[in-house]
């Protein structure tokens, strides 16, 4: 889970809801046909562009980013974990790895294959294929959210045009003009909120997250290789150090 | 046929029509001169940019994407089909391929040429040329739809300006202002709908579809080569595997 | 002449004029100061960006695209013509080429130089320089039209702002508000029409046309080389075939 | 500190404040819920895109650009300083460098490491890593400000839509329409000011500053190498000259 | 001086002024606070992005483009001049070049250095450095004008929002609404005029001019080399010919 992403989503919606509830009932901001036109139209435009499977992968990836998870995020922790695994496998053999706690699903899967006796090359190849799949899916998923972020304001505008045309065609009751315009403008608001509070930031987030997770996975593939070779821990650290971000200088050495 | 594309087009139009029919007669959304200015102007701007042939290819390609077809989409199925063809040709000779069911037009054409005795090189060259043509046409067709998606809102705005200027020039009857503005705004609505419900998503779809279909065709060209060489099925699978998308890991091996 | 371009320009203007004349006199859409501000401002902004010569080349190129011409467009016809020329020159000598009908100005010029006894190398070099000039001019001309397409809507907005400010500064006569706003909005309409009916599509067309014409010229340069060498017609066809577009398969061979 | 950046920020805010206070009380431009929706929404959208750490680095970097500092900016001064350091170290040894005044924090840190006896290679590697970190952080920080510059106007529009819908839903008191619209438009104003007076120019500035500071740091790394080698000052000048910008000709030599 | 640029700037301003003076006093288009907010805000945003020196270079470069100058523009004239200089130096020695009229400042400076006895290599190096500086400054200056062209409309909108909010907050006198809105819209007009009549076209012009002038300077550097070597004039023409634009064919040779 990306904590700041979760907070950001919650904060954005909360702020807009508070602003809506100040000075009027929040009920005036609910309009089922308007929601239908914006959400339905956005889904329709996205279905033309992407297949059902691609859209589902995008939803799954956004859940994976937003849901709580205790997967290790820090590459230094992954190196420390690798050292533990390495020392265990060197002293007690590969099978002892089965009972160790590994807080990263991709890493866990690699260790399981190792314990099950898969060849080193097959493990590497299988995991690299999964990594390639992650990168492809992250790109497609970011594209799905970008498509939503582009379509939602467009359908917001279409909804507002439909509402304004209905209102202007029937001006018999002047008192109804204001509320009718308010309802017409709701779809523009819906479209802007979907795009700016959700879809466009998520598209950017998935792109960044995919790049970072892919780097962690490639590092784990090399870590598994080191474990299967029974490398010296220091050599393993040297092997993995290029994956680490550059670190700031120790202050005033 | 791309099923989700078809559903997306239908769903988008249906949702907007339902929204239009709620709260007013749908008839107020029909305005022949407005439709004429948006559709005619969009066609005119597209005719300046593209020749008649290029526009017709774009229409044909959109039909090819939207119409039902039992062409095989899955590359794994194509490999399975190739294995069937390979085993048949090895046991019964090339001519036996003539009666086999091949659910992919491009593949069928290649097999027909093989049965008709064309040389291996001529088949390869002819099919690669057709593949190159597909790629070029997909690019041009996507360009035609992108041009429509850009021109339609512009002519929607031009139509609205024409309508507003006519209305403002003659304000003698205040009661007619509302309906006149409604009519003027219709062209903006038409332009937004054409662009967002149809043209822009189709441009993206054709681009993606062209890339995928081109990859399938290149794979078929190699498959035909393997068949004409009477390759071992396993070697054929190795030859074609780079065309396969990466596959997810078998869950929890 | 590009026929569909000509039709597109005519159709677009006709449709907008018809829409204008429906429901009101077309005279209300004519406003000389408004036209002056949009056309004059667009010319001014283009003159800052481009020299007088560059602008004139752009006009000349647009005429060359729009005017009737019997220059050969089809590359296959150019190859057939080359075969005729080749056979004539092989049987009757170069001088016999002088009287042949050659429906392509660039080709005609090359043949004239050949008849006049210029060296093969000089002809090639001179024609390649002219080809390079065509490419440069097409790029600059497309830039001029793109600049017009960007400036026209901007000056349309400037004109509308000027009109609205004049109207708002003097609201003494409420009855004049409508017509004054109509006049103010005319410049926005002019700007949108110039950009979308003319300048932006022409910029795209010139880019495409320049690429195609350049390819035809390069093919003619090679054709002239084949003629001056007295090549065998079949070898000439092989030499020129890479310039041909890929062709569709003969249906169901 | 970048002096013109500081002046620019101050000047922009001052001019808008003066314009606000002319013709009305400046108090009408203050609206706490409106500020909350724009600033809160912008923060929310940025938190989805970037982690807390990345956002903090962006703030730190903007302070580093805006705060007074006597770090040397001119590369020629850095070369003069290097010559002083070089002569001192050649005559009195490395330890004498400890007491010299070095007006550039990165340079000071390098000299301190040298005085402390770190190896030449370790110093180089450590400083190059810090330089790489600076480049990465400058890119991310510019991205954070660009994200703010994109989100602020969007949330300004969302705030205005919320305000307009509330106003239109309750038109009972015509006298309140004007002030209510004024309040609704405030959020658009806030969004435009945040983006154009602050976020977008800062994003550009950080990009440029990061490139320049990185070049200075790379030059200092080479300068430190020259000092540790006890190079001849003229050779050192030759070594560093590629980092200098090209200089104008001495007028009328 | 670029003549068409000068005419374009003058024409654009004149046309807008004429349009303003038709139908109303031009005085209603003058609003000092509005001008202050647009010009001041634009300057502020540009000062954040660029240093004072960079902005001054941009102003200097725009003057250099707009001011009358008898610097030679035509590369063929530069070759003719080079031939004169070459013949003079071959017959009367380098010192005789001192009294020749050289209508290009960069060329004059190179000849002066030659007359003063600078070495060939130093002249070449010095002039190439100045050329590199020109290219860098032209890029930065174009960036400054592009920044102005982006900031001016933004501050025009900010000014209009400030004006509208002030007006809407105080609707006590209905008669003042029109003029107040007119004043509010003036800043949008100012921003659009600064961007479209001046800043954006100048940014494009400086880019183009910088590329052309840089090419002329590189040609002059080679010309000076030829003079200092006392080359044969024909060989000099061959050396410089690649700098010439391609020329159109002599009509109907």
Half-sphere exposure of residue D163: CA atoms within 13 angstroms, side-chain side = 25
Residue C18 C-alpha, separation from nearest chain E C-alpha, in angstroms: 29
Structural domain contains residue E250:
no
Whether the predicted pLDDT of D93 surpasses 90: no
pLDDT of residue C141: 92
Cα distance between residue D133 and residue D151, in whole Å: 27
Whether the predicted pLDDT of D191 surpasses 50: yes
Whether the predicted pLDDT of E45 surpasses 50: yes
Listed by number, the residues of chain D in 146-185 with a beta carbon closer than 8 Å to a beta carbon of chain E are 175, 177-179, 181-182, 185
Structural domain contains residue C74:
yes
Listed by number, the residues of chain A in 203-242 with a beta carbon closer than 8 Å to a beta carbon of chain D are 204-205, 208
Using DSSP's 3-state secondary structure scheme, residue A101 falls into: coil
Is the CB of residue B201 less than 8 Å away from at least one CB of chain A? yes
CB E217 within 8 A of CB E106: yes
* Interface with chain A: mutation pick from B179, B182, B184, B188, highest number of A CBs within 10 Å: B182
Chain D residue with the nearest C-alpha to that of A253: D113
Categorize the per-residue pLDDT at D238 as very low, low, confident or very high, splitting at 50, 70 and 90.
Answer: confident
Residue B67 C-alpha, separation from nearest chain C C-alpha, in angstroms: 20
Task: Please state the rounded mean pLDDT for residues A34-63.
Answer: 90
* Interface with chain C: mutation pick from E9, E19, E193, highest number of C CBs within 10 Å: E19
pLDDT of residue B191: 96
**C20 and C38 both lie in a single domain:** no
Kindly tell me the burial class for residue B221, based on how many C-beta atoms sit within 10 Å of its own C-beta (0-12, 13-18, 19 or more).
Answer: buried
pLDDT of residue B247: 41
Structural domain contains residue B250:
no
How far CA D104 is from CA of A30, C108, D81, D180, in Å, comes to 58, 71, 10, 53
Verify A-B touch: 3 or more CB pairs within 8 A. yes
Chains contacting E with at least 3 CB pairs below 8 Å?
A: C, D
**Residue pLDDT, tens place only, E89-144:** 888 888 888 888 888 989 999 999 988 888 888 899 889 988 988 888 899 899 99
CB C144 within 8 A of CB C55: yes
Is the CB of residue B48 less than 8 Å away from at least one CB of chain C? yes
How far CA D223 is from CA of B126, B228, D82, D229, in Å, comes to 63, 67, 6, 10
What's the domain count of chain E?
A: 2
**Residue pLDDT, tens place only, D157-167:** 999 999 999 88
CB C234 within 8 A of CB B111: no
Structural domain contains residue C249:
no
**Residue pLDDT, tens place only, E202-224:** 999 999 888 888 989 999 999 99
Please spell the DSSP secondary structure of A149-193, one letter per residue: HHHHHHHHHHHHHHHHHHHHH--S-GGGHHHHHHHHHHHHHHHHH
Q: Does the interface predicted TM-score (ipTM) exceed 0.90?
A: no
**Residue pLDDT, tens place only, B73-112:** 888 889 999 999 999 988 888 888 888 888 898 999 999 9
Contacts 24+ apart (CB under 8 A), D113-117: D113/A253, D114/D224, D114/D227, D114/D228, D116/A253
pLDDT of residue D248: 39
Set of chain C residues whose Cβ sits within 8 Å of the Cβ of B35: none
Chains contacting C with at least 3 CB pairs below 8 Å?
A: B, E
**D22 and D95 both lie in a single domain:** no
Residue D124 C-alpha, separation from nearest chain A C-alpha, in angstroms: 12
Q: What is the CA radius of gyration of chain E?
A: 25
**Residue pLDDT, tens place only, A132-179:** 888 888 998 999 999 999 999 999 999 999 999 988 888 777 777 888
Query: Of all residues in chain A, what percent are helix, strand and coil, respectively (each to 5)?
Result: 80, 0, 20
**E174 and E112 both lie in a single domain:** yes
pLDDT of residue B246: 45
pLDDT of residue C1: 52
CB A192 within 8 A of CB A150: no
**A172 and A112 both lie in a single domain:** yes
Set of chain B residues whose Cβ sits within 8 Å of the Cβ of C188: 161
Q: Do the chains contact at B40 and C11, CB–CB below 8 Å?
A: yes
- Report the b/e string of E198-237 with b at 16+ CB within 10 A: bbbbbbbbbbbbbeebeebbebbbbbbbbbbeebeeeebb
pLDDT of residue B3: 77
Structural domain contains residue D220:
yes
Number of Cβ within 10 Å of residue D106's Cβ equals 20
Chain B residue with the nearest C-alpha to that of C195: B154
Categorize the per-residue pLDDT at D247 as very low, low, confident or very high, splitting at 50, 70 and 90.
Answer: very low
Q: Do the chains contact at C130 and E246, CB–CB below 8 Å?
A: yes
The shortest CB-CB distance from D44 to any of A11, A28, A204 is to A11
**C171 and C135 both lie in a single domain:** yes
Average pLDDT along chain E: 87
pLDDT of residue C77: 87
Q: What is the pTM of this model?
A: 0.85
Is the CB of residue D193 less than 8 Å away from at least one CB of chain E? yes
**B13 and B101 both lie in a single domain:** no
**B176 and B98 both lie in a single domain:** yes
Number of Cβ within 10 Å of residue D18's Cβ equals 14
* Length of chain B measured in residues: 253
**C16 and C74 both lie in a single domain:** no
Residue E248 C-alpha, separation from nearest chain D C-alpha, in angstroms: 38
Structural domain contains residue A123:
yes
**A87 and A140 both lie in a single domain:** yes
Set of chain D residues whose Cβ sits within 8 Å of the Cβ of A179: 168-169, 171
Rounded to the nearest angstrom, the gap between the alpha carbon of residue A104 and the centroid of all alpha carbons in its chain is 17
**Residue pLDDT, tens place only, A190-212:** 999 999 999 999 999 999 888 88
Structural domain contains residue D217:
yes
**Which residue would you say has higher pLDDT here, C96 or E190?**
E190
Set of chain E residues whose Cβ sits within 8 Å of the Cβ of D252: 109, 112
Structural domain contains residue C135:
yes
Rounded to the nearest angstrom, the gap between the alpha carbon of residue A203 and the centroid of all alpha carbons in its chain is 8
Residue A150 C-alpha, separation from nearest chain B C-alpha, in angstroms: 9
Q: Do the chains contact at A193 and D158, CB–CB below 8 Å?
A: yes
Q: Do the chains contact at D132 and A197, CB–CB below 8 Å?
A: no
Residue A177 C-alpha, separation from nearest chain D C-alpha, in angstroms: 8
pLDDT of residue C251: 35
Categorize the per-residue pLDDT at B158 as very low, low, confident or very high, splitting at 50, 70 and 90.
Answer: very high
Is the CB of residue A136 less than 8 Å away from at least one CB of chain B? yes
**Residue pLDDT, tens place only, E76-91:** 889 999 999 999 988 8
Categorize the per-residue pLDDT at A245 as very low, low, confident or very high, splitting at 50, 70 and 90.
Answer: low
**C36 and C23 both lie in a single domain:** no
Whether the predicted pLDDT of E152 surpasses 90: yes
Domain containing A73 equals 31-244
Residue E246 C-alpha, separation from nearest chain D C-alpha, in angstroms: 32
How far CA B161 is from CA of B183, C142, C182, C184, E29, in Å, comes to 11, 28, 9, 11, 25
Whether the predicted pLDDT of D249 surpasses 50: no
Q: Which residues does chain C have with pLDDT short of 70?
A: 1-2, 245-253
Is the CB of residue D135 less than 8 Å away from at least one CB of chain A? no
**A201 and A185 both lie in a single domain:** yes
Residue C211 C-alpha, separation from nearest chain B C-alpha, in angstroms: 14
Q: Do the chains contact at D12 and E41, CB–CB below 8 Å?
A: yes
**B15 and B39 both lie in a single domain:** no
Categorize the per-residue pLDDT at A25 as very low, low, confident or very high, splitting at 50, 70 and 90.
Answer: confident
């Amino acid at each position: 889970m990306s904590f700041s992403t979760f907070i950001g989503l919650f904060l954005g919606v909360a702020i807009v809801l508070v602003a809506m509830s100040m000075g009027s009932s929040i009920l005036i901001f609910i309009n089922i046909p308007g929601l239908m036109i914006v959400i339905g139209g956005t889904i329709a435009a996205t279905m033309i562009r992407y297949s059902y499977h691609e859209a589902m992968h995008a939803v799954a990836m956004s859940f994976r980013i937003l849901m709580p998870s205790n997967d290790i995020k820090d590459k230094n922790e992954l190196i420390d974990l690798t050292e533990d695994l390495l020392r265990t496998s060197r002293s007690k053999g590969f099978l002892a790895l089965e009972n160790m706690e590994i807080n990263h699903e991709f890493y866990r899967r690699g260790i399981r294959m190792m314990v099950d006796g898969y060849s080193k090359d097959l493990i590497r190849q299988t995991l690299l294929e999964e990594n390639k799949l992650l990168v492809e899916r992250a790109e497609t998923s970011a594209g799905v959210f970008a498509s939503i972020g582009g379509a939602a304001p467009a359908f917001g505008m279409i909804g507002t045009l439909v509402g304004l045309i209905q209102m202007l065609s029937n001006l018999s009751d002047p008192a109804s003009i204001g509320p009718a315009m308010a309802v017409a403008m709701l779809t523009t608001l819906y479209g802007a909120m979907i795009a700016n509070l959700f879809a466009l930031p998520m598209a950017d987030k998935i792109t960044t997250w995919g790049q970072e997770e892919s780097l962690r996975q490639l590092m784990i593939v090399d870590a598994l290789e080191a474990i299967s070779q029974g490398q010296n821990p220091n050599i393993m650290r040297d092997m993995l150090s290029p994956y680490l971000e550059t670190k700031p200088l120790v202050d005033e050495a």
